């Protein structure tokens, strides 16, 4: 009695056949280089290659090293863009240990470094936000005075000043300059604040 072999599980949706993918990349690069030498318009990257880029980047994003980042979609989009920009740098004459082209490995490495650049950028932005809160104070962004709205300054002017203060602190942080000191508002005689609508109530809450 012959034992039936178990069926192999189907490959994931992000599977890329390396040999087929590499051949398509080499074919496109050869056509693009020929058009470039002839001073003709370089053809658009074929849809099949673009889909393979998406699969490579999505597969890498699900690896344990990157799967827990909340901005994985941004990482994938950055990586796909980098792959499209680097396709003309693919060396069709370079051989691997097996003697066959390995486009999958080449573009996976490009996606990997694109992920690292996005992570470094996001960490830098997080650090800047923390410094803004610690050094500038939350009131730098959220304080709105009802008397000022009824007085000389309009709400648009008040928001513009808060926005300028925010980017001034961010610029100082990026350039390593000293952060500006928050000015202490002069004491005012207590007065009854006039309500100008639900928006003012929200901003003053």
pLDDT digits (tens, 9 = 90+) for 56-84: 999 999 999 999 999 999 999 999 999 99
Positive or negative torsion for Cα 111, 74, 70, 126? positive
pTM of the model: 0.59
Q: What angle do CA 73, 71, 131 make, to 5 degrees?
A: 155
Read off φ and ψ for residue 178, nearest 5 degrees: -70, 140
Q: Per DSSP, which regions of the chain are E strands?
A: none
Distance set, CA 74 to CA 6, 61, 113, 133 (Å): 40, 10, 14, 25
Is the model's pLDDT at 27 over the cut of 60?
A: yes
Positive or negative torsion for Cα 9, 15, 16, 18? negative
CB-based contact 101:21 (threshold 8 Å): no
Is the model's pLDDT at 35 over the cut of 50?
A: yes
Per-chain mean pLDDT for the chain: 76
> What percentage of residues in the chain have a pLDDT greater than 70?
58
**Segment 25-36 mean pLDDT:** 94
């Amino acid at each position: 009695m012959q034992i039936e072999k178990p069926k192999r599980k189907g490959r994931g949706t992000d599977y890329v056949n390396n040999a087929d993918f590499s051949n398509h990349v080499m074919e496109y690069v050869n056509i693009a280089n020929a058009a470039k030498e002839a001073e003709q318009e370089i053809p658009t990257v074929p849809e099949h290659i673009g889909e393979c880029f998406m699969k490579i980047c999505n597969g890498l994003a699900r690896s344990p090293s990157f799967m827990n980042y909340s901005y994985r979609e941004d990482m994938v989009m950055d990586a796909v863009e980098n792959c499209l920009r680097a396709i003309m740098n693919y060396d069709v004459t370079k051989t691997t240990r097996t003697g066959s082209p390995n486009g999958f490995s080449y573009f996976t490495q490009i996606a990997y470094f694109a992920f690292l650049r996005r992570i470094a950028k996001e960490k830098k932005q997080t650090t800047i936000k923390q410094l803004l809160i610690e050094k500038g104070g939350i009131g730098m962004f959220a304080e709105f005075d009802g008397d000022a709205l009824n007085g000389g300054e309009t709400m648009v002017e008040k928001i513009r000043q808060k926005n300028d203060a925010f980017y001034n602190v961010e610029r100082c942080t990026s350039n390593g300059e000293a952060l500006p000191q928050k000015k202490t508002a002069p004491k005012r005689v207590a007065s009854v604040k006039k309500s100008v609508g639900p928006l003012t109530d929200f901003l003053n809450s």
